[in-house]
Amino acid sequence: MRVACLSGTDLRTAERVRAHAHVLAAAGHQVSLFGVQAPGAEPEEDDGDVLIVRVPLASWAWRDRGPAAIWRVARWYGRFAPLAEAAVRRGPPEVIHAFGLDVLEPALAAARRCGARVVLDDPGASRAGELLRRVRRE
């Protein structure tokens, strides 16, 4: 199965994300990991059985205040769309694995276009769910 993993980081220090990608590859899947192109990072890297692709993104600066800030936050998620677009251009994946809520919206949009399934992996989201369950019990 072709799996495209998306992460909003440059992947140089994302050990958990890279480990998940290698587990998928060890299970026989063709895995490509897409992250952000940071200064000094190679645009492509062969990490054994996982291909790492870094995509340049537009720079981001927080300048807005008041109501304009709300729109700025909403646009934050769209900023990661080039990661998903690069994944689809490389050959439509059957699964898009979104590592974080910041890349989920672009992953969902790309999946709709190419018919892929989406997996969300966000440890923060699972902790929020656990906290909500605890609050409901008390």
Tens digits of pLDDT across the chain (138 residues):
999 999 999 898 899 999 999 999 999 999 999 999 988 888 999 999 999 999 998 765 555 556 666 656 566 667 899 999 999 999 899 999 999 988 999 999 999 999 999 999 987 766 655 655 665 665
Q: What local confidence, expressed as pLDDT, does residue 136 receive?
A: 61
Q: What local confidence, expressed as pLDDT, does residue 6 receive?
A: 97
Cα–Cα distance for residue pair 49/32, rounded to 1 Å: 9
Cα–Cα distance for residue pair 105/121, rounded to 1 Å: 13
Residue pair 118/26 in contact (Cβ under 8 Å)? The answer is no
Q: Which helix (H) or strand (E) holds 78?
A: helix 67-78
Give the global pTM: 0.81
Instruction: Give the residue from 63, 48, 64, 50 showing the smallest Cα distance to 7.
Output: 50
**Helix, strand, or coil (residue 130):** helix
Instruction: Measure Cα distances from 132 to 6, 123, 137 in Å.
Output: 27, 14, 9
